[in-house]
Amino acid sequence: MLEPGIRFHKEIQTNESHSALSYGSGLVDAFSTPAMIALMENTAVESIQHLLPEGQTTVGIEINVKHLKATRIGEKVTGESFLKEVRNNKLVFEVHAWDEKGMIGIGTHTRYIVDVKRFLEKLF
């Protein structure tokens, strides 16, 4: 059973694929907001996936973040998630991101636990 307090972090080495130019989210060669959000979401997913029964996963339904400062491509970025609320199948995480100089992003992310097979059946 999932309980609040689960913390997880993941470090990446940024490269051109993480840039705003690559994502199409801007015209500068810097770490993009979508890449930061993906890292934050990924830490949340990885933090609890191994605790779920086989056939279940989580899907993201809401993210509310602030991208506080720019990061040069080539720097390391660390994403962190902290599970702060569990309500039935709803999971609420606090998420953060840091580069080598300090905090670059903060926010919240909500995910729901779903049965993979049933979820995919609804798509077709």
- For residue 114, the domain's CATH number is 3.10.129.10
What band does 1 get if pLDDT is binned at 50, 70 and 90? confident
| Rounded alpha-carbon distances, angstroms, from residue 120 to 39, 45, 46, 51, 83 | 24, 18, 20, 21, 26
| Residue 8 clears pLDDT 80, i.e. is over it | yes
> Tell me, what DSSP letter sits at residue 108?
E
- Residues of the chain with pLDDT > 70, as a percent, come to 100
Q: Is residue 2 assigned to a domain?
A: no
| Structural domain of 22 | 7-123
The amino acid at residue 99 is D
> How many domains are contained in the chain?
1
Q: What is the separation of C-alpha 45 from the centre of its chain, rounded to a whole number of angstroms?
A: 7
Q: Is residue 44 assigned to a domain?
A: yes
Q: Is residue 1 assigned to a domain?
A: no
The tokens for 52 are 């779920």
> Tell me, what DSSP letter sits at residue 5?
T
Q: Rounded to an integer, what distance in angstroms lies between the CA atom of residue 85 and that of residue 5? A: 8
